Structure 1
Amino acid sequence: MVSRDRGGRRERTMASADATALAARDMSWPDLPAGCPTRAGLPGVGRLKLTVGALVFLALTVGVFWYQFARIQVGDAAPEWGRLHWTYLGLILLCLPLETLASALRMWVVSRALQPDVRLWTCLKAEWVNVAMNLLTPAHSGGGPGQIYMLTRGGVRVGTALTISLLGFLGTMVGLLGMGLYSLIVSDLEHMGSLFMTSIVALGALATAMALAAVRPDLLRSALGPLSRAVARLAGGRVALRDWWPPDAPPSTAPVDRLDPLTGRLVTLIYDYRDDVRRFLRVGKMRFVWVCLLSLVFLFSRACLAYLSVRFLGLDGSTFRHVMEIQMALIFLVFFAPTPGGAGIAEAASLSLMAAVVPVGFAPYYNLLWRFATAYLPAIAGLVCLGNAVIENARALTPSRSGGDVGA
């Protein structure tokens, strides 16, 4: 009888410990908004950052185009209405959706393996918002959060949305590496060799970090853990440390680390990323081959739009290969540009590299057409999609806040 009571107490104690562990593991960590919005803004990108980015983008864009128009002297050759090749304008219009469609399709290919109910329309909107946020933030820092935000609004889990975005980015890096190697080995742009080599090293480092997160997330957690605890000590009691478990750990196991809430959520996303990558590779490695091929289509169409713009203006003194090689260099420059959307840098670099193809009198018209086709137009579509999403979030938040006020 005594042993039975002891056994019952032991079972109740173990059940209580499991419940306590589960309760600790289920504590709320800061998260990005998913289908149910918690705020009307864009996660990870504040309004001040967007406002400053937009002002800097406009100032640099207006300044560089003013400079290009001011360089035109009396007597310089300029576009003439009768010499425009309208057939190439039709080809530009046909090629315009190709870049966005290729990027959206590679997102959809990944999502079909991880969350099959994602619609292609959701991926299209996410890609447009990605372009818009890249245009308003330095070094493409806002594109990923914007893309993830739109995917989560379409019902994608936050961790899965992060994986979809990162695998698409990895496909872009593979395409850029291929273009960089071609430029180093085959192209005639010898003076751009140092740029391509630096870019290849940077892309290799990024790819290594992404592979490390997928294969050995423990190493990243081991690096982030001491930083988290150091920040907590410096902040005193304002930052609390919490026990942390891997997402797939049994409930009765001891916590493997103590992290602040933000770092804990970041580490959890890293482990979710690892699990999603493994699941993606189990479903079919050929899907990633399609992601890389679609990335090449995306990059090729961007370069092809520049060639079509040159031909539309009536400039026939260059070959397709020469223009494409120059565009490869420009894609590298704009990709790593620190200014919002590469504003100022993209136009100035195009002015320099395309000088032998585009005369001074044609330069501002060509650059305006080129930037409008490859950046401005999809960014406008992205801003419309993002604005609608933020307005819907604000409307969804208003009743809940009103209800909370009434209840209070």
Structure 2
Amino acid sequence: MKLKSRGLFAISIIFSLAVIVIVFWITFTDETIEYILSFNILFLLLAIGFRLLALGLWGVRIVLLSRSLGYPVSLLHSLNMVLAGLLAGTMTPGQAGGEPVRVHELYRAGLKVGDATAVVIMERVLDGIILTVTGIIIMLMTSEIWSTFSKSLIILIVIAWIFLLSFLFIPFLAMRYPVPMKTLILRLVSWITGKLSHTRLSSSGICTRADHEIDNFFNCFNRFAGPARSGLLAGACVTGFFWITEFMVASVILMGLGLDPHIVLSFFFQILIAIIMMVPTTPGSSGITELSTSSLYALIVPAGMLGIFVLLWRFVTFYLNIILGTMAGMYIVHREISLRTGNSKGPEPGEPVMEMAENKNKGG
């Protein structure tokens, strides 16, 4: 892990723990210790189970989207890229670091860069659709809850929702205005390569490669709207189950504390939290997530329990990411080292890792 990455990782952990400590300090009562001792550990294990199931569904979604485009990505490879992306997400604002990791791993699985990018963006689009539709439905069911939110929280929610909805326009713009969008992206690539003129990345082939991959990117969206539509619909269904499973974690922890699960209201809170987490603020959205979680769940969780709830929920949804992501990342690093030592040229564009290994063995 590079020095800069270590710094971002440390900031993410510090922000998260600092807010949790503050919440504990503000809400600590004589009953807090009793709540901690009475917590049923079986519910924590069940919450971890729901979280692992959600990550499995995330992997299944990537497999479905990729295979609908004709790429046979394995489930194990997909799961590993999801876990590795979680670790990268803890070090980047808005958890955006997970996307480049998944694009890279899809490329390693045989997808063209443009197709891999389109698959990852389509994930965000499906998340945006599901969260928006579900959020609107629950908002209508719990409209009175908005009057209890502070103005600053409402402003943050609105900004986050606008940011999320912006992803929904990417496929539309790509299919409706391909030429202007391609021109805009190529200008951006040209500007970046110009800034990197003093490095080895200033190859004249970068723009040519970018032009080719942008065509793949736009064609991929057209395929999702046509021949690959069934895979997109299947991916949308899995996305729905993914978020339901993900949101059940908080309700299970509430039950472990002896509270009602508050499923509908808890789902609504977590939709808002999930949207806020997508806004690029702090590394891994740490601190912001804990603060928004505390503000929202304070409406249904007794003060003495709030710090315990936030800590347990973040352990399952954040600190567990670090543990699992580290193991997945170590596998990827080991694989990359093996590829570079065994084949100095590395894989050809779009050549699956497994095929490379097979070709190498045959050559030996």
Task: State the TM bucket, normalised to the shorter chain.
Answer: 0.7 to 0.9
Provide the residue aligned with 1:115 in structure 2: 70
Once residues 199 and 240 of structure 1 are traced to their aligned partners in structure 2, the CA distance between those partners, rounded to angstroms, is: 34
Does the 8 Å CA contact 1:76/1:360 hold for their aligned counterparts? no
How far apart are residue 146 of structure 1 and its match? 0.9
Q: Among 53, 62, 69, which residue is 2:17 paired with?
A: 62
How far apart, in 2, do the equivalents of 1:326 and 1:240 lie? 44
Per the TM alignment, residue 354 of structure 1 is displaced from its structure 2 partner at its CA by: 0.9
- The partner residue of 1:173 within 112, 128, 140 is 128
* C-alpha contact 2:63 2:72 (8 A) present in aligned 1: no
**1:325 CA displacement:** 1.9
Question: Is 1:375 paired with 2:336?
Answer: no
Distance 2:102 2:287 in 1: 24
Mapped partners of 1:59, 1:265: distance in 2 = 40
**Does 2:315 match 1:365?**
no
Per-residue CA deviations over 1:63-111 (Å, capped at 9, x if unaligned) read 2232233335452444446743456345324422221122111111111
> Counterpart of 2:165?
204
Preserved CA contact (<8 Å) 1:232 1:239 = no
Larger Rg: 1
Deviation sequence 1:351-388 (CA, Å, 0-9, x none): 11111322333223211211122232234222211122
User: Closer, same or farther in 2 for the Cα pair 1:199/1:185, shift >3 Å?
Assistant: farther
What is the match of residue 300 of structure 1?
Answer: 244
Which residue of the partner structure matches residue 357 of structure 2? none
Alignment correspondent of 2:356 = none
- Comparing 194-203 with 370-379, greater Cα deviation is found at 194-203
Alignment of 1:95-110 (within 5 A): 95-110=50-65
Does structure 1 residue 222 correspond to structure 2 residue 187? no
Q: Evaluate the alpha carbon distance shift between residue 319 and residue 109 of structure 1 in structure 2; reply closer, same or farther with a 3 A threshold.
A: same
2:362 paired residue number: none
Q: Structure 1 residues 334-343 or 199-208, which shifts more?
A: 199-208
Which of 259, 268, 277 matches 1:315? 259
1:62-141 aligned within 5 A: 62-73=17-28, 75-80=30-35, 83-85=38-40, 88-89=43-44, 91-141=46-96
Mark the CA change 1:199 to 1:187 in structure 2 (over 3 Å): closer, same or farther. farther
Distance in structure 1 (CA, Å) of the matches to 2:186 and 2:29 = 65
Q: What is residue 275 of structure 1 aligned with on the other side?
A: 219
Q: Does structure 2 conserve the Cα–Cα contact (< 8 Å) formed by 1:229 and 1:241?
A: no
Q: Deviation per CA, 1:157-177, whole angstroms, max 9, x where unpaired?
A: 333322221222211111122
Tell me the equivalent position of 1:389: 332
What is the deviation of 1:222?
2.2
1:79/1:313 contact within 8 Å kept? no
C-alpha deviation, 1:215, in angstroms: 4.2
Taking structure 1 as reference, are residues 218 and 334 closer, same or farther at Cα in structure 2, changes over 3 Å only?
same
Deviations 1:204-263 (CA, angstroms, capped at 9, x unpaired):
322213332244332123224555667778888989999xxxxxxxxxxxxxxxxx6444
- Confirm or deny: 8 A CA contact 1:151 1:161 kept in the other structure: yes
Find the aligned partners of 1:240 and 1:53 in 2 and give their Cα distance.
25
CA contact (8 A) 2:12 2:283 kept: yes
CA distance in 1, matches of 2:28, 2:191: 61
| 1:286 aligned onto 2:230 | yes
Deviation readout 1:145-189 (Å, 9 max, x if unpaired): 111222233333333322221222211111122133235433233
Which amino acid letter does the alignment assign opposite residue 276 of structure 1? C
Write the distance in 1 (CA, Å) between the matches of 2:108 and 2:34: 45
Structure 1 gaps, min length 5: 1-45, 243-259, 402-408
- Structure 2: runs of 5 or more not aligned: 345-364
- Residue 353 in structure 1 maps to residue 308 in structure 2: no
Identity of aligned residues (%): 20
Contact 2:194–2:202 (8 Å) recurs in 1: no
Whole-Å Cα distance in 2 between the matches of residues 164 and 230 of structure 1?
25
Partners of 2:191 and 2:119 lie apart in 1 by 32
Closer, same or farther: CA 271–102 of 1 in aligned 2, 3 Å: same
Q: TM-score, normalised by structure 1?
A: 0.73
The verdict on how the C-alpha distance between 1:122 and 1:215 changes in structure 2, with shifts beyond 3 A counting, is farther
Q: State how far apart, in whole Å, the 2-side matches of 1:105 and 1:174 are.
A: 18
1:173–1:203 Cα contact (<8 Å) kept: yes
Q: Secondary structure at the match of 1:356?
A: coil
